[in-house]
Structures are given as C-alpha cells and as structure tokens.
Amino acid sequence: MIIIMLGAPGTGKGTVASILQEKLNIKHIATGDIFRKNIKEKTELGMLAEKYIIDGDLVPDDITIKVVEDRLNKPDIENGIILDGFPRTVRQAQELDIILQKKGKKVDRVINLVTPDEEIIERTINRRVCSNQECREVYNLLLKRPKIEGICDVCGSKLIKRKDDTEETVRTRLKTYFEQTSPLVEYYEKQGNLMTQQVSKSINKLGKDVAEDIVKILNNK
C-alpha cells in the first residue's frame, strides 16, 4: 500500500504516519528527515537544501524528486510506504505517478490533515524532536512532554528544537503551503483517493485519535 500524508506543517503528519507505520507494517519516509540528515552531515545536497528550509521555502522540485526516486528504489519499502512531506506540488505529484507507474504501482490513499493556523503555530514553536536520526520521536511541551526534560523517552538521546521551528518561519511555511501545496487536495480529489481528517484540540481530536480512525477505515476497505 502506498499512502501520502498531506497537510500544512504542524498538522501532525509525522505523528499520524508513525502510528500507521506500526499498525500497517509499512515504512514511513519523511523527506524532511532525509534533508535534515544531509544538512547535519554537510553533504552537497544538505548544503543546497539548507538555505531553502531555514527560510521556510520549499526545496526545488528537481532536487526533491531525485531524492524521493532514489529512496523508492530501496528494498525496505516492498511492503508499502507512507510518504510524509512529498509531494508538495502538483508537478511532484505528477512525477510520482510516473515513477510508480514504471514499477506497476499507484498511490492507494491520500490522507489530508487539517488544523487551524494559530493552533499550528502554537504546536510548532513548542515542538521538540529526538536528535537521534534513527529514532526521530516527536514531543510537544504543551501536548506531549517527555518524562525527563530534554531527554527522549524512547532512546535517551537529547531533544532539540529545529532551527526552522520559529513563529516567523512557520507563518512563511503556511503561506507557501497554501500557495503551492494545497492544490494537491484538488488533484487527489479528482483521482478519488483523498481522505480528509481534522486534527484539533478544539474538537478534542489529536494525532493519535486520527491515526486510530484511519487504521479502522483502511482495514475495513
């Protein structure tokens, strides 16, 4: 099964995708993590992508498509994949369809998460992530605090705040999302594989609750 996670930054795509990975036994791939790993290791790709990510802009299509295509050739995704952070533009979606068609596959389900802007900003500036790239556990100082301050519950590594988790950057990323990425909703609606879920404390429905609902729907189908 091939699943795509859609939604503005801070809607909880990573949280939902991690739960789906465990429940459905398919690999969760976050393109943001791939870029951050390259930035940390100071690779050519990392240095190229860093200037875009820090400013809250999207990494250019040509670079992102190549990164994802290389990842789709790895053997660990034979059972399926959850793409988190890709595609982000209609062109990327069209290129993904072509890549999958060559493999005799297609996108099975697109999950679109929706959250109020101000809630996204509050959630993002309070986000902390595990510094261990093999773990990537995500915490929130308001919603999901670690048992020991600054330490990951899962692996014991240090928690960090991403450089781009600032209010100014988040607002830029939201503007970019609605200008360039939201047309994907219409693109996948036309394909008939879109599922929209609201994630918001205002309705007492957070990432874990949404993920459980999605698993039930997918298993029933």
pLDDT tens digits, 18-49: 889 999 999 998 887 778 778 888 888 788 88
Indicate whether 78 pLDDT > 90. Answer: no
Decide if 126 is inside a domain: no
Average pLDDT over every residue of 68-91: 88
Burial of 6 (0-12, 13-18, 19+ CB in 10 A): buried
Percent of the chain with pLDDT over 90: 43
Indicate whether 145 pLDDT > 90. Answer: yes
Indicate whether 108 pLDDT > 80. Answer: yes
Element holding 97 (H helix, E strand): helix 90-102
**Among candidates 131, 163, 164, 134, which has minimal Cα distance to 146?**
131
pLDDT at position 221, please?
A: 64
- Name the active-site residue from 36, 88, 109, 128: 88
Decide if 24 is inside a domain: yes
- Angle (CA) 1-174-86 rounded to 5° is 25
Decide if 160 is inside a domain: no
CA distances from 91 to 43, 52, 152, 160 (A): 26, 18, 37, 33
Decide if 148 is inside a domain: no
Query: 162 an active-site residue?
Result: yes
Domain interval for residue 176:
2-115+169-220
Indicate whether 84 pLDDT > 70. Answer: yes
Average pLDDT over every residue of 123-150: 91
pLDDT confidence band for 158 (50 / 70 / 90):
very high
Cα distance between residue 185 and residue 37, in whole Å: 29
Average pLDDT over every residue of 135-156: 92
Domain count, the chain: 1
Rounded to 5 degrees, φ, ψ at 64 are -65, -45
Query: 13 an active-site residue?
Result: yes
Which residue would you say has higher pLDDT here, 141 or 55? 141
Decide if 179 is inside a domain: yes
- Name the active-site residue from 123, 128, 136, 173: 173
Decide if 80 is inside a domain: yes
- Name the active-site residue from 109, 127, 128, 136: 127
Indicate whether 128 pLDDT > 90. Answer: yes
Average pLDDT over every residue of 137-165: 92
Indicate whether 15 pLDDT > 70. Answer: yes
Cα distance between residue 175 and residue 120, in whole Å: 13
Q: How far apart are the first and last CA of the chain?
A: 12
Whichever domain contains 17, its CATH number is 3.40.50.300
Residue 85 CB neighbours (<10 A): 24
Decide if 107 is inside a domain: yes
Indicate whether 55 pLDDT > 80. Answer: no
- Name the active-site residue from 13, 36, 109, 136: 13
Query: 36 an active-site residue?
Result: no
Decide if 125 is inside a domain: no
- Name the active-site residue from 23, 162, 201, 205: 162
Average pLDDT over every residue of 201-216: 82
Query: 173 an active-site residue?
Result: yes
